[in-house]
Structure 1
Amino acid sequence: MKIKLNRIDEDFLFECTNSNGNKILLDNTSKPDSKGVSPMESVLMAVAGCSGIDIVSILKKQRQEIKSFSAEVEGDRIQIGDAKPFKNIMVRFYLTGVVDIKKAFKAADLSFEKYCSVSKTLEPNVKVDWEVFVNGEKA
């Protein structure tokens, strides 16, 4: 896996490109006119995306009919010297459709316990918790 990063303005805007040519913009979001996400926001996005792919994949294999799927992720940070790494991350998944709530819970559990490489990478230092809601009901 290889990512290329290029500075594309006179300040802090970076374009990151993967080997398939897909791109995201990273920026210093403390600026009022930022045009990308912060690197720390991208970590939260990666947790949601990684586990989201797992959950949808598992539920599709079980022939669950997902009408909508979304997630909200919050990260609590701590000060360690000059850095502010995450201490805790909370991911909440929201599904609608003809989805068995127990299967949705199990799919999320499998993602975080076994499959999600992003949360596994963070795991030694960051506590990642999660919740699943199906058609408004907490699993």
Structure 2
Amino acid sequence: MSVDYKTEWLGDMAFEMDIGGHKVRMDSSAEFGGEDSGPRPKPLILAGMTGCTGMDVVSILKKMKEPVDYFNMKVETELTTEHPYTYTKVHLIYRIGGKGLNHDNVNKACRLSREKYCGGIALVEKAVDFSYEVQIEDL
């Protein structure tokens, strides 16, 4: 299967990618010649990964009829100290809360996303030391 995307230079350090009719603008800070009009490209890799796994986990938990009241994720990273600056470690923390959550189901949903469904995690795992944890809050 082939999927194509177009990225266009907008001037200075700004670029815009068209993803299915949705525009994603990227830029750098003034320090590096940009106007800070959008996020830097590298963190968007992590945004894609968390969006991918988040959608998986929500879908799985809905099928399990789990009463999720909130769900967010935090990503902790380590970078190399020389060019090219790349992530060496990525640690994903799932934070899920709800009244009467089955902890086994929540952990299973996160594990299934990582091991079976999330292409974003699969891609990141090929490049860096990846780990995750699940924090569950009973409300």
Q: Which residue of 2 aligns with 1:17?
A: 18
Asked if the contact 1:78/1:86 (under 8 Å) is kept, the reply is: yes
Contact 1:29-1:37 at 8 Å conserved across structures: no
Report the CA distance shift for 1:84/1:14 in structure 2 as closer, same or farther (over 3 A): same
RMSD: 2.0
Q: Contact 1:29–1:36 (CA<8 Å) still a contact in 2?
A: no
Q: TM (normalized to structure 1)?
A: 0.85
CA–CA distance in 2 between the matches of 1:30 and 1:42?
19
Change (3 A) 1:28 1:109: same
Q: Would you identify which runs of 4 or more consecutive aligned residues in structure 1 move more than 3 Å?
A: 29-33
Q: Does structure 2 retain, via aligned residues, the 8 Å contact 1:3–1:16?
A: yes
Cα distance in 1, alignment partners of residues 56 and 30 from structure 2? 32
Equivalent of 1:127, from 122, 126, 129? 129
Alignment: residue pair count: 134
Change (3 A) 1:64 1:7: same
Sort the Cα spacing of 1:100 and 1:29 in 2 relative to 1 into closer, same or farther, 3 A.
farther
8 Å CA contact 1:94, 1:136 repeated in 2 = no
Question: Structure 2 matches for 1:16-55, cutoff 5 A?
Answer: 16-19=17-20, 21-29=21-29, 31=31, 33-55=35-57
Q: 2:72 and 2:110 mapped to 1: Cα distance?
A: 13
Letter in 1 for 2:114: F
Task: State whether structure 2 residue 72 is matched by structure 1 residue 85.
Answer: no
DSSP-derived class of the 2:85 partner: coil
- 2:4 aligned residue (2, 5, 13): 2
Residue 94 of structure 1 corresponds to which residue in structure 2? 95
Identical amino acids, percent of aligned pairs: 27
Residues in 2 aligned to 1:121 and 1:53: alpha-carbon distance in whole angstroms? 16
Give structure 2 stretches of 5+ with no counterpart: none
Cα distance, 1:135 vs. partner? 1.4
- TM (normalized to structure 2)? 0.85
Q: Distance in 2 between matches of 1:26 and 1:6?
A: 10
CA distance, structure 2, for counterparts of residue 72 and residue 121 of structure 1? 18
